[in-house]
Amino acid sequence: MQISVIVPLYNEEESLPKLYEWIARVMQDNGFSYEVIFVNDGSTDASWQVIERLHAEAGDNVRGISFRRNYGKSAALYCGFKAANGDVVITMDADLQDSPDEIPSLYRMITEENYDLVSGWKQKRYDNRLTKNLPSKLFNATARCVTGLSLHDMNCGLKAYKKEVVKNIEVFSEMHRYIPYLAKNAGFTRIGEKVVQHRKREYGVSKFGLNRFVNGYLDLMTIWFLNRFGKQPMHFFGLVGSLMFLLGFVAVIVVAGMKLHALMNGVHAMLLGTNPYFHIAILMMILGCMLFLAGFLAELVLRNSQTRNDYLIRETL
């Protein structure tokens, strides 16, 4: 099979028939063998009934996965990736803001230009400029600095992947925003970008609020930390803890030395017990010890992890 199209959705019953009809027309016009996997993320409307009807009409070209409750887009993509059979996997949103007409060019970039992943860039958007466009630009600028990927729209739902990529990355929590970064960390460095069409929403309302930008920054810090220190937690906690302990220890010596110097010269000086600098120095030493111990505990947890020696092998001879 050439293409698997994964469509995560939540309460999109009105747009699904039109979306599938559009996808099927593009596939037939280009002679692609394909499957469309609709992942129903706990919808409370008739989305699943629509998917069942599409499956009855289209047969194996339409597959469906339905969650018992809403788990989020990352969970939907994870299950979709796991079920995909196509050599090229394409993801798109169900709200008709992503155009299936982009599929052939995305497919060619993967198969002919040998990209591991191609991310869409909605250069011209029809969202509210104040609540979506400006925060999105700030978010993507920060993501580019942290990840080292020069993508203008990392969170774009329209992406294309080699099958090998989706089978070797794990999308969890709300990390769907950073799939290109997850792919890069897994060793898939041929990551490209394509300007794609952004369309106005025809049905329903957006399921995303401003809180996604706050959560996005927190997730970005999490994935950066896991990539940098996930296999060597002691390198972070031990280093920071040691530096903090040493600074606190030096500060204690300095404060005690100043007190002793004052006593030797008969000068009145503040008692150590009432000196705030002394307490701050002791606190730094305690925190340093705690961080160092946290590093040890993290290493013990990692030692018993079943994934501690998981490495992606490109090929063997």
Please tell me the distance from the alpha carbon of residue 103 to that of residue 42, in angstroms, as a whole number: 27
Q: pLDDT, tens digit, for every residue of 118-168?
A: 999 987 766 655 556 676 778 788 888 888 888 888 888 999 999 999 999
Tokens linked to 270: 């503040």
| CATH (residue range 3-229) | 3.90.550.10
pTM over 0.85: no
Buried b (16+ CB within 10 A) or exposed e, 226-264: ebebbeebbebbbebbeebbeebeebbeebeebbeeeee
Q: pLDDT, tens digit, for every residue of 210-223?
A: 566 677 777 788 88
Asked if the model's pLDDT at residue 205 lies above 70, the reply is no
Residues near 268 by beta carbon (within 8 Å), at least 6 away in sequence: 262
Q: pLDDT, tens digit, for every residue of 270-297?
A: 777 778 888 899 999 999 999 999 988 8
Residues near 87 by beta carbon (within 8 Å), at least 6 away in sequence: 1, 2, 3, 111, 162, 163
Q: Where are the domains of the chain?
A: 3-229, 233-303
Asked if the model's pLDDT at residue 307 lies above 60, the reply is yes
Please tell me the distance from the alpha carbon of residue 164 to that of residue 115, in angstroms, as a whole number: 12
- Considering only residues 227 and 126, tell me which one the structure prediction assigns the higher pLDDT: 227
Given the structure tokens 């009855």, which residue do they identify? 56
* CB-based burial label for 136 (10 Å; 0-12, 13-18, 19+): buried
For position 122, what pLDDT does the model report?
Answer: 85
For position 228, what pLDDT does the model report?
Answer: 81
Asked if the model's pLDDT at residue 268 lies above 80, the reply is no
Please tell me the distance from the alpha carbon of residue 23 to that of residue 107, in angstroms, as a whole number: 13
For position 67, what pLDDT does the model report?
Answer: 94
Within 10 Å of residue 1's Cβ, how many Cβ atoms? 14
Minimum mean pLDDT range among 12-26, 74-88, 195-209? 195-209
Asked if the model's pLDDT at residue 200 lies above 80, the reply is no
Query: What's the chain's average pLDDT?
Result: 87
What is the mean pLDDT of the segment spanning 170-187? Answer: 88
